[in-house]
Structure 1
Amino acid sequence: MVAANVGTALALTCLGATGTAVGGAMVVAQPDMSFERLGFLQGVAAGLMLAISVMDLLPGAMEAIGFGAANLCFYVGVAFFALVVVAIPEPSLEGIIKEDDSSKGSKKWRREVLFSGLITALGITLHNFPEGVSVYLASMKSSAMGASLAVAIALHNVPEGIAVALPVFFATKSRWEGFKYAAVSGMAEPLAVVVMGLIFPVDLSPDLIQAMLAGVGGIMAFLSFHELMPLAFQHAGRRPATAAVFLGMAVMSGNLYLVDHWLGLSH
């Protein structure tokens, strides 16, 4: 029975993981995009991720484990990912880009954009792992509950795939690379099921899961402020970028309302 439940959880997390691949496909299927459009879409992605953090992950954790504990975990997530950004060196694109550093499209600019995409992919991978754990635990209780949670996570993962694929596509000029990084970042969810089902076959405390998700909320907020928003302002300008951030937040707010109230998939 446990093996069957693990198999169900694995299938459901694969469903959730397709959201990032769909988001990546939406980016790379576009015709050539201008730098202004890049900035606008990065602003939208920042708003989407910020809304996930402060309207979904953190409030859910506060309800489950209390205001103080949830906020502590949130800021631990912020501090953790700040250290990750400092520790991970910027990748080298020598031999790929020959333009002068003073212009958009230069080696320096594209290195910064690629670094933003890689950091975002890492953050979303960390985000997706505890989500996979959540689907696993829900599936152990009820396949229907696990399916509901997987659908909700898939909806959330589409904008996350966009956030990963955009900078990678613009930096490498490769549609395949943008899609690949978006798709791979979602595979942490099935990996979480493998880890939970094979290495840790006992249930985790729901409070521990909520604490993990609060920390992930901190990571998402850090990514929005440190990586996506500065690039949005640089590429699109102050007013369009500001509008894009609030548009992204509004879209995710509507998504959360739909999932919670209309579809009954609150998590």
Structure 2
Amino acid sequence: MDSQVLVALSLSMVGGLSTSLGALFVILAKAPNLKMLGLLQGFAAGLMLSISFFDLAHNAINSIGFLKGNLWFFGGVIFFAIIANFIPEPSLAPTADSKSKKKHGDEGGKDVMKKHRRQVLFSGIITAVGISLHNFPEGMAVFLGSLKGLRVGLNLALAIALHNIPEGVAVALPVYFATQSKWQAFKLATVSGLAEPLGVIIVAYLFPSSLDPEILEGLLGAVGGVMAFLTLHEMLPLAFDYAGQKQAVKAVFFGMAFMSASLYFLEISLPADVGL
């Protein structure tokens, strides 16, 4: 069993660290302007919504039934809606830049940009948390796949690796914009990917035979609710502010389509009795 766990850990590291590859694309490129940031925030919001509705909530409803799946999902929504009331968050649209500069000169403009950066950083942290929670069951799937054989585990790890690259971009981009630190952007994207090998460790050692599938699916459905709430509450308003409503909506649907295609190709690479 220990050798199988080591193989699964190695394979899950391949998938998990591909978020670092996505981060490299961000930190090696030129820093985006506000409009480009808004479009990419919209794209990231689409990724998150697709994961929430078409993956986590969908699987929960199929596994434990429509009523229970929805109760778990909206339980996650309500839980984080309550938490959000206690989180201080700056809210300032880019259109305030010119007004602030006229009133207060350069110092006012700098204050506005600081608030922008703080707001963007908050959205990046939200994305990192959401993607970490999403990567966790992927680690479990890699472990279960690797039990069937190296070829199955390797194919699954490679599919997840390709699937995780845009997730690394979604995490690193707002962090890099907000902090101007390549290291911080790379670090947070990498940490979000490390949830995958953590999933292997937990399913292998803490739940070797007593993992309740219904509770697990319900919790993942609740994670979907949390991600959906945070995406609509935090990321989408930023995308609207920076890129404009029409362009941001297009970016959201592009992100949803991209992640849906990714989830499809990931699903067909799985054995019939190993699911995410």
TM-score normalised by the shorter chain: which range applies? 0.7 to 0.9
1:18 aligns with 2:25: no
Equivalent of residue 205 in structure 2, options 185, 198, 208:
198
SS at match of 2:17: helix
- Summarize deviations over 1:200-249 as a string: whole Å, max 9, x none: 43352333332232222222212321121111111111111111111111
Q: TM-score, normalised to structure 1's length?
A: 0.84
- Summarize deviations over 1:7-55 as a string: whole Å, max 9, x none: 1221122122123212212211211311110000110111111112212
Percent identity between the two aligned chains: 50
Q: Which residue of 1 aligns with 2:141?
A: 134
1:122 aligns with 2:121: no
Q: Which residue of 1 aligns with 2:185?
A: 178
d(CA) in 2 for partners of 1:16, 1:87: 35
Q: Which residue of 1 aligns with 2:157?
A: 150
Q: Which residue of 1 aligns with 2:27?
A: 28
The offset of 1:171, in angstroms, is 0.7
d(CA) in 2 for partners of 1:252, 1:33: 22
Q: Which residue of 2 aligns with 1:95?
A: none
Q: TM-score, normalised to structure 2's length?
A: 0.82
d(CA) in 2 for partners of 1:60, 1:113: 31
Decide which moves more: 221-230 or 168-177: 221-230
Indicate if the aligned counterparts of 2:42 and 2:248 stay in contact, CA closer than 8 A.
yes
1:256 aligns with 2:255: no
Question: For the aligned residues, what is the CA RMSD?
Answer: 2.6
Q: Which residue of 2 aligns with 1:66?
A: 65
d(CA) in 1 for partners of 2:262, 2:156: 14
- Summarize deviations over 1:164-207 as a string: whole Å, max 9, x none: 11111011111221111111111112122223333443352333
Q: Which residue of 2 aligns with 1:238?
A: 245
d(CA) in 1 for partners of 2:89, 2:187: 20
Q: Which letter does structure 2 place at the counterpart of 1:56?
A: D
* Structure of greater Rg: 2
- Summarize deviations over 1:134-161 as a string: whole Å, max 9, x none: 3334434554444444334333322221
Q: Which residue of 2 aligns with 1:165?
A: 172
Q: Which residue of 2 aligns with 1:107?
A: 114
Equivalent of residue 222 in structure 1, options 221, 226, 229:
229
SS at match of 1:31: coil
- Summarize deviations over 1:114-143 as a string: whole Å, max 9, x none: 112122222222222233233334434554
d(CA) in 1 for partners of 2:160, 2:64: 21
Indicate if the aligned counterparts of 2:49 and 2:231 stay in contact, CA closer than 8 A.
yes
Runs (5+) with no aligned partner, structure 1: 92-98
Decide which moves more: 71-80 or 179-188: 71-80
Indicate if the aligned counterparts of 2:168 and 2:189 stay in contact, CA closer than 8 A.
yes
Q: Which letter does structure 1 place at the counterpart of 2:114?
A: K
Q: Which residue of 2 aligns with 1:94?
A: none
SS at match of 2:224: helix
Q: Which residue of 2 aligns with 1:56?
A: 55
Q: Which residue of 1 aligns with 2:40?
A: 41
